[in-house]
Structure 1
Amino acid sequence: MDLREVFKQRRSVNFFDAKRKVSEEEVKKIYAMASLCPSSFNLQPWKILLISNPEEKKKLRQAALNQPKVEEASVIVVLLADIKGYEEINKVFDDMVEKGYQKEEARDTYAGLAKSLYGNDISARGFALRNAGLFAMSFILAAKYLGIDTHPMDGFEQDKVKEAFNIPDRYEVAMLIAVGYHDKEKPLLTRLRRKNFDEVVIKM
């Protein structure tokens, strides 16, 4: 499937075939593709809570406005944005030095730059969520490339999700992504209208 077809065929599926499962190996393949997405300083400030156990899905459904697809989808990705991700700059810098991107003597300057950009609560939250968003869209498109359907979910109560799964304060719940296969007995409707170029673009 070429890239244009991936975009055309990707839909936010509301009805999943609960009998068709996505294996962990398939999720790993999706992740391997999605992990190639860009991130600020290559910090990759995200974690994934992968939920497939039926009892855990029930708990999540209660925190996700009781949406049935939480239980019907094969797997739910709880995408966590790490607001302290900038603190791992030294690990990233080691890789940069080893591969010739940076020289060792620039370490303190580089770490200071990351801290100055992301070292307060407001900027750290924005940093984490923006980067998690890049990963989320990459994950969704990679899934479609592999023939697997998804639905990005913003309908959840963050406090309840964090409480249900003991998620530390350093993480924001960026998004839930339902992963599985469309229930073909419930056909997709025609895609809703997208804004055209002239409606969106402001020329300067």
Structure 2
Amino acid sequence: MEEIYIDTGNTINVAVQSHALLLLTKAKEQHKRYEGQLRLCRQVSPHADVTYFVKAVSQENSTLTFVQTHQEFKPAVALAADDQKSLCRQLILDRLTEESVLRKRSSLQAKAMEMTVSLKHNQDIISTLSNVCQRSNRLTFKLSSTSFFSSSSSFFFFYFWPALSPSCKTLAQRSGGAWFDSRQSQTKD
């Protein structure tokens, strides 16, 4: 029994020693790690670190800046009918889709021409209306500066003449006769 007691004591002693050595080595590793972190913390200088940080940020900003170029808008030039169709700047997916692409292109060109004609027509209408308004303003000023007409019908035709539609003007010319001719010569002056 004594031998068993001695063997068990020795085994427990060796186990405790090996466990103590294991804990000691872990403690030494932690000590080294904390010692390295302590050295880094002692090297911190707030003033120097802030200056290095500002320099690093300013260098990053200077490398990230870029210049945006401004390109002027240039409208598309209308193609003449006699121009040859070149293959530059055309995307052709395959030979079967080429016809549909050309049809769509021609329909878009036709729509663009229609819009251009419509735009010119609208500009002509606007210029005509502005001329009519200017003439109406001149006539209104003449009317207000001269004496009032004795006849209410002559006042109506003289005052509202610029605003009448072409069919109404034609009717007024047919029914007015000499009066219309005399008033028209006065308004041209």
Same fold (TM over 0.5): no
Q: Which has the higher contact order (CA 8 A, sep 6+)?
A: 1
Larger fraction in strand: 1
Question: Rg: which structure is higher?
Answer: 2
TM-score by length of 1: 0.18
